[in-house]
Amino acid sequence: MLEILRAWLNGRREYAKGVTLFAILHTDTQLLNLFKSGETPFTRQRLQAELLAICKQMKQSQGIKPPPPINVKKSLPKRIEIARRVITTAESVVNSFVATEDDPEEICANPELYAAAKKEADLAYKACMNQRAELFAKTRMNAYEDPNRPDLVAERGKMAVEVVVAFNKLSILYEQAAHIKTSGRLQATESEPGETEYNALPDILVKQTLDNLRKNYNKIKKREPTPERIALLQKHEENIKKLSDRWHSLKQGT
């Protein structure tokens, strides 16, 4: 009977089966009637607590010593230990940016773009830390649970990979914010036409190109202000001004 009870505690803990086990193993009819009245968060929690207490009593009566506390570093699969080391390395990079407070007197080459990049990185940091806390919570097992059960191993392995990927992305986001702060530009080069291409634009296409740029500008401005979109808006503003000046001079020359 002890093995059946332990299997229930280590399994899905189906409520109806747990009530049946309690009826067999306990004589408290008042509690049994409470459990039979239906499953609620309270009755489920109380049932689990009662069956866990019975399990401990049965093991003591049979002379079964409780297992020693789980040494997480030794008992968990290698994949989560590797994840811990990778996360620790990534954390040192990310935290170097997070811990650095902005100096209000420090000159920023592009405050608007930097603020958007920093906000994006900070939001990703909070989400990543929540993932990290959830992952490490999975390493705290009850004494009667097997930490290397296949389903638990698969679950932790997937979460570990997700956290590592998130921390690597954070490193890139904070490095980009630092680059913008000093250079005023994104690290990636934009695929929009450059200054030379607009200078070589025939006069007959100036008005049409200017109208298209303004339409694109208004469309982008309605979207969420990510660093990439803000950089594109700033580039459009620069090109719109150049083409506007050129169109104005063409009209004056006619």
100 and 150, same domain (yes or no): yes
Whole-angstrom Cα distance, residue 94 to residue 134? 19
Does pTM top 0.75 for this prediction? no
Whether 189 maps to a domain, the answer reads: no
Whole-angstrom Cα distance, residue 160 to residue 80? 6
pLDDT of residue 190: 45
Can you tell me whether residue 171 is helix, strand or coil? Answer: helix
97 and 142, same domain (yes or no): yes
Whether 96 maps to a domain, the answer reads: yes
Is 178:106 a contact under the CB 8 Å cutoff?
A: no
Whether 66 maps to a domain, the answer reads: no
Range of the domain at 18: 2-61
Written as one letter, the residue type at 229 is R
How would you write 25-72 as a 3-class SS string?
HCCCHHHHHHHHCCCCHHHHHHHHHHHHHHHHHHHHHCCCCCCCCCCH
pLDDT of residue 74: 45
> The tokens 């004589």 sit on which residue?
27
Domain count for the chain: 3
Q: Over its length of 254 residues, how does the chain's per-residue pLDDT go in tens digits? A: 677 888 888 888 888 888 888 888 888 888 888 888 888 888 889 998 898 888 888 877 766 555 454 444 444 445 555 556 555 655 555 655 555 555 554 567 788 888 888 888 888 888 888 888 887 777 666 656 666 677 777 777 777 778 777 877 777 788 888 888 887 877 654 445 555 567 777 888 888 888 888 888 888 888 887 888 888 888 888 888 888 888 888 887 65
76 and 173, same domain (yes or no): yes
33 and 83, same domain (yes or no): no
pLDDT of residue 83: 56
Q: Write down which residue in 123, 149, 183 finishes a domain.
A: 183
